[in-house]
Structures are given as C-alpha cells and as structure tokens.
Structure 1
Amino acid sequence: MREKFLSFLLAAALTACLAAYLFYHVGLISWMRELSAAQWGTLVLLIFLASLIISQGYRFIIHVRPWNQGHLTRSLALLTILTGTLAAYTYFLDIVVQDWLSNLGENTPSTSSLLLKGGLVSLILSLLIIWIDYSWFAFARYSKETIHRLREARNKKELQFILLRSQLTPHFLFNSLNTASYLATSHPDQAEDFIRKLAFNFNNLIRNGIQPLNSLERELEIVDNFMHLMRVRYGDKVILEKRIKPGTEQNFLPALGIQLLVENALKHNIASLDAPLKIMVTADQLQVVVANTLTQKPDKVESTGIGLKNLRERYLHYGRSVPEISEGGGFYEVRLPYVTPNLSQR
C-alpha cells in the first residue's frame, strides 16, 4: 500500500509539473489565477486520472515483465503506457483550456502549440523515466551481486578460519600424547604427573576457549602453562627466557602462535643436560621474536604438518604478511608481527 501511494504521488507530481510547464510556454500562467473553483476541480481531476493510470500501469508492467525477463518488451510497454497517457492527458488538457478560453474574448492567448509541445515533452519524459527505471534496476542488480560475492568470500574465509582454529587443539593433543607415550615407557614415575598436568591444561583450554586472537599477555600465560607441563619430561634440559618490553602486553597475536613455535622447538631438537635447549621469547613494540638454539636433531620426527602452515594461513586471514623465519649462528628464529584486530575479529 505504501509503495502504491508513493508511485501515485510521483505520477501526480509529474503530471502537475507537465501542466505548469505547458501553461507557462503558451503564456497561460497568469490566466490560471482567474480559474473558478469548478475549473480548478476539473484540472485536479485530469491530474488525478492521469496519475492513477500511470502509477497503476507502471506497477502492472513491472510486475508482469521484470527487467531480467526482457529489456525490449518492458521498455516498449513502459513507453506505450507513459507516452500514451501523457499525450492523452495533454490532449484533454488542450480541450478544456480551449473551452475555457473561448468564453474570455478575442485577446486570450493561443493554445495552438500546447498539444505539439505536450506530445514532444511526453515522449522525452517517458524515455527519461524508462532510463531511470533501468538504471535503478542495473544498480540494484550490481549491488546484489556484489554483496553476494562478498558474502560468499567472507563465508569461505570464515569456514577456512574455523578449520584452522579446529586444528589447534589436535596439534597440541598430538604432541602431548607423544610425550605421554614416551614417559609411560621410559619414565613411568613421571607419566602420571604429566597426565594430571595435561588434564589441567586441557580443562583450562576448553574453559577459556580458543579465541581468534590473544593478547601477548594471554599468550605468555599459555606458554608458561605449557612449559610447566613440559618440565615434567625435560626438567632442566629446557630453558625458557622471556624479554618483554613494558607496554607490549596488550598487543594481539594469532591464538597459540607462540606455543606452536615452542612445541616445534622441542620437537625438532634433542635437549640434554650437557646441551640444553634454550628458547627465548622477545617482544618489542613491533613484533614478537621466538628463537631457539639448534641442538642435535632427532633421528625420526613425527609431525602432523600443521604448525607453521597453520600460523601462516591465520596471518593471511588477517591480511598480514607471513611470519619471517631465519636460521643462522646456531639459532632458529621466527618473527611474529602484531595483528590489529577489527571489533568483529576479537
């Protein structure tokens, strides 16, 4: 109902403006002040009827013939209803004006050009309305398709990110169970303590959930809990050093990013009392650097292949460059730039 009323008002404005334009070009604007109430009523009735036909005809055409079902057919139908109605409106307007002027004497303005001008203006207005109507349709279709593409891309990204997040816990579980298996066969007395601490860490992980991003402060807390777990197996064979510049604790990183690098350092190096594995976490205003000494490599390393690949993909999800990896001077080093989150990503 609201759309019908709005289309009628627009058609009424169109026909009223057309009448005013035609009266002005044949010199009848001043004469309109002399119209009686009955004559004004007749003029309003003509405007009402023309507006009603235009609005109802337009709505009927757009209902039975959408633009995507035939551009030419709809254009011709709109041109017919608009030009025909406006031309007829101009014709009857000319008739009633001629009748009114015949009673005013010989010095009244001539309306000989009213019908000609009305027909030409009606055609121009009809073509303009059709062009506006199609432009609106094309813009709406373009906007809809663009939004659809963006929504699909976003859904794809979200599904990919959910998959990446779902890999984090299995990655941690895989490494932890390998450690538990090792302790159960080589150090049975330490296996129970390790499993209890593992259960505590999993309970903490499940309770807090895996967020897309963590503050550096939260990441360091997770690493501390993880190293508390690893000390059951490694004892003094592994040394963790943290050099955190004040004021950097609230910067954000992909969740469990530091822990993944610590896990990889433990996995790919043999730690001993004679050659302890030293892991250093350094943070400044630009990045976090996780470095570890390179010791003897294990003969066989079981891996899921998730770690660094997962971390790279999550950085790409946030539109950032991948972590920088370097090796030299007896150290393996990974640089993690901070991530600036949107509100929807936190």
Structure 2
Amino acid sequence: MRNLTELAYYHLFIFLFMLAAVWSANMVWSKAAIPFVQIVIIALLYMLYSYAIAVLLLGHWKGNARQKLLIVGLYTFVSLTVIPVIHALIYKLLPAVGIRFSRHAQSANLPRFYFNIISGYLVANLLALTVFLKYRTVLLKKENHALNTDLLQFRERALGMQYTSHFLTTIFLSNFGKMLIDEKPKDKRTKRDIIQFLAYLLEIEQSGRLNAIDDELDQLNCFVRLLQGYYGERAICCHLAVEGTAYPAIPTGILFFPLENCLKHGLISSDYPVEFSLVGDATEINLSCKNYWAPKHDTVRSETGFSLLKAKLNQLKYRNSVEILQEEATFIVRIKLNFFEAK
C-alpha cells in the first residue's frame, strides 16, 4: 500500500507536467482554443494510464511467477481496451455531462482518432516506465542503506562479544569469519544472509536454547550459502532431505556444528570438497559431514568443541549419538537424533 501511495505522489507531477504541456501546445499550435476542462481531462487520462502501468510494472518486479503472469494478462487487457474505453469516454460519457470534444456524433476521421489514442497510450507507457525506473532506483537505494545499517549493527554486536565461545572463536578467527566481519558484499542476498547468520550467532550463545527444526534448517541453508559463496559452490556438497514431520525442538547450532568444525581443521575447495548430508524420516534425523583435513597436530582431539556439542545433546530427553571418525585424509562426524526413543 505504501508503494502505491508513493507512486501516486510521483504521478501528481506527471499530471502537472502533462497539464502544462497540453496547455502550451494548445496556445502555440491549436487554431481554435481548447476549453481548459478538456485539457484537464487529457492530463488526467495520461496520469491515470501512466499510474496503472507503473503499478503493473512494480507488481511484475516484486511478484512471483504466478503474479507476473497475471500482471502480463492485465497489461494486455488494458492495452486492448484503451481504444474502446477512450472512444466511449469522449463520445458517450463526457457528452452526457455536457463536455464535448467533437461536434460530430463520431469522429470525422476515425483512423486519425485511433492513431492519436495509440500515440497517447505509448506516451503514457513511456511516462510510466520513467516513473517506475526512478522509483525502483529510490527503493533499491533505501533497501541497500537499510541492509548496510543492519549489517554494521550486527557486525558490531558480534565483535563486541569478544569471541567468548569456542564456536565464535572458530567462526571469526578463520578467513571465512573475517569475510563476515570485514568485507562489504555488493549483492543483497549475501548481505541478508550475513545479517541473518550474525543474528543467529547471538542465539547460539544462549545456553539451553532450543529451536524448531524448520528454523534450524533455515539457518543451516543460510550458513551453507555463505560457505558456498566464499569457497565456491563445488566446495560444499550439501544434501538435505527431511520429511515434513513434526519433530521436537533441537538445540541451536547442532545441525551445522560439523561444518563449523571444518573451518578450523578442514581443507575446503573444489578439489577438497566438504560432503554434508542431512536425512530425516518420520522418527529420526541422520547427519554426516566428511571433509579433508589438515590439522595443526597429528590427531584432532575431541576437546572443547565436541564437548560443547555433547553438552547440547545431553540436555535432550530423546536418544542421540555423536560419532567421530578420523581416517587417513578425511575427518567424519555423524550425529543421530532418535526423536521418539527415550534415553
């Protein structure tokens, strides 16, 4: 509704511009003076058609596939009816209230009459496109400014936590974490993902917090997109297949804990991809993560990081398990949540 109101304000200037343009043309080129009320009606028609087309353009820009198809149909309908609508307005509706554009019952030169309508409609399209492009630029600047403000705010909050937990230390002291804090992405999707993820990190810091599985999956997808954006899509092979089952709540962060661990010890690239899989059926979820590793020591010790994971799982009343396998050049973490099997 706000967008429609703002477009209406823009079109007040269109009305004033067309009013001045038609009045000036009347004064300079017209042999017989056109009544001012007719000039006002012409300017109103330009404004109304331009506004309608601009609204359709805005809807097409913001709409989904079905809405876009509907808007194309509406625009086609408006275009096909412009001649009969204007003809009825000038020769039936307006004469009924004493406003006559012609002395004849119908135009003496119908082809020229129709040409004038079509050319006027094309001008209305041009005006609508100009207003839409201008308005879209303003919207994009406002949205980008809001995203940059939110991004700065969440980055400051995250830095203000001083990396208090093992999880945040692993995230922020990696090159990936420095990207989250230092770089300024240009595309809006990445900005939104960074804002969402940094806000989520504040939730992970809250001890004992549980979230719905759908919310956790949304955060997991956000984290995967950020990792793929930084390391490349082929560097993070992610497979998610979860049935639409009403699972109990789960601790925050455990779904992508193995991915977080890769940042500390893993070799992550298209040549050394991380293989992440999360499969759920009606009763349980099985999560596995396999990555190539290059630790600072000969073995990866399950100390602070995995202790925190196990502490999160210990608060659950249903059966769960964590399995850590270290093979020659790979590191594997498997987590199983048996939702409907009590401990």
Greater relative contact order (Cα < 8 A, sep 6+): 1
TM-score normalised to structure 2 length: 0.40
Normalized per residue, the structure richer in helix is 1
TM-score normalised to structure 1 length: 0.40
Indicate the structure (1 or 2) with the bigger Cα radius of gyration.
1
